[in-house]
Structure 1
Amino acid sequence: MKTFHCGSLVPGCDWHTRADSEAEVVSRVVDHLRQSHGETTIRPSIIEQIKERMSDEQNAA
């Protein structure tokens, strides 16, 4: 499971998401950046920053 916390990219934002695939997390983050932060252009460098800040979440037993 991949997780992403928006505050790691946009200080002060408490939004976070998680999904099984990296691609799904990136898609959700891009949607969030557009809707909540007014981003109109998502450059490849932003995608790379999202991927760098993504982490693996271990399922609790």
Structure 2
Amino acid sequence: MKRFDCGTLVPGCTYHTEADSEAEIVRREIEHLRSAHGETEIRPEMVEHIKDRIVEVVPH
């Protein structure tokens, strides 16, 4: 399982998401950036920043 915390990209944001694939995490975060942060253009660098901040989580 993978996890992304938006606060690592947008300071102060508490949104996070977990999914089995990196692609699904990126899709969800882009949707969040558009709806919650008003981003209209998602640049390739932004996708790379998201990917760099995805972490593996160990199930409890």
TM-score of the aligned structures, taking structure 1 as reference length: 0.97
Number of aligned pairs? 60
CA-to-partner distance for each residue in 1:14-40, whole Å, 9 max, x for gaps?
A: 000000000000000000000000000
* Distance across 1 between alignment mates of 2:54 and 2:19: 11
* Distance across 2 between alignment mates of 1:19 and 1:54: 10
Q: Which residue does 1:53 correspond to in 2?
A: 53
Give the 3-state SS of the residue equivalent to 1:18 in structure 2: strand
Q: Which residue does 1:36 correspond to in 2?
A: 36
Q: Which residue does 2:11 correspond to in 1?
A: 11
CA RMSD of aligned residues (A): 0.4
State the identity as a percent.
Answer: 57
Structure 2: which 5+ residue stretches go unaligned? Answer: none
Structure 1: which 5+ residue stretches go unaligned? Answer: none
